[in-house]
Structure 1
Amino acid sequence: MNPTRPRGDDPVVLQAADWLVKLHAGEMDEAGHRALHAWRAQAPEHERAWQAADELARTFGRVPTGLGVPTLESARRLRRRVLLRSTVLL
């Protein structure tokens, strides 16, 4: 594991994810942008978590919709099959 990258179960990472969702959902006004900026400046780990979340969002943004949606649907169907098989085995 890279020690400079935040972990997904870290509360700060979850906060960064919440900020990212609000930003991309168009729910942030000027006061929200100021609050995000203040949160990022509050601690170095906040800024690291924000940078990691933003990088992930940019990466997902580069996946073509025609590829991303079918891939996610395929993963969902596979997960259902695995759960069904596990249930049957139990």
Structure 2
Amino acid sequence: MDNDSGDDAVWQVALDWLMREHEESLNDADREALHAWLAASSQHRRVFHEAEQLWLLTGMIPRSDERN
């Protein structure tokens, strides 16, 4: 991942969303806000996807059979 000047802030927002999504259940308003943030920019979607992949690779997201 390249970290241009705006990427650091986008990366932080993506991580914040990931942590919120996996530490608590997002309510409808939060889920809509996440979808709006993702829809606002291809950079947001790319960085969020990269953050998800990193999270999965480090084992921080439980396997689907371990989730609720």
TM bin (shorter chain) = 0.7 to 0.9
Runs of 4+ in 1 over 3 A off after TM superposition: none
Normalising by structure 2, report the TM-score.
0.72
The runs of 5 or more residues in structure 1 that have no matched partner are: 63-90
Name the structure with the higher helix share: 1
Cα distance between partner residues in 1 of 2:25 and 2:17: 10
What does residue range 1-90 of structure 1 map to in structure 2 within 5 Å?
5-7=1-3, 10-61=8-59
Query: How many pairs does the alignment contain?
Result: 57
Asked which structure has the greater CA Rg, the reply is 1
CA deviation profile, 1:14-47 (whole Å, cap 9, x unmatched): 1101101110111411211111111011011101
Partner AA of 1:30 in structure 2? D
Q: Which blocks of at least 5 consecutive residues in structure 2 are unaligned?
A: 61-68
Q: TM-score, normalised by structure 1?
A: 0.56
RMSD: 1.8
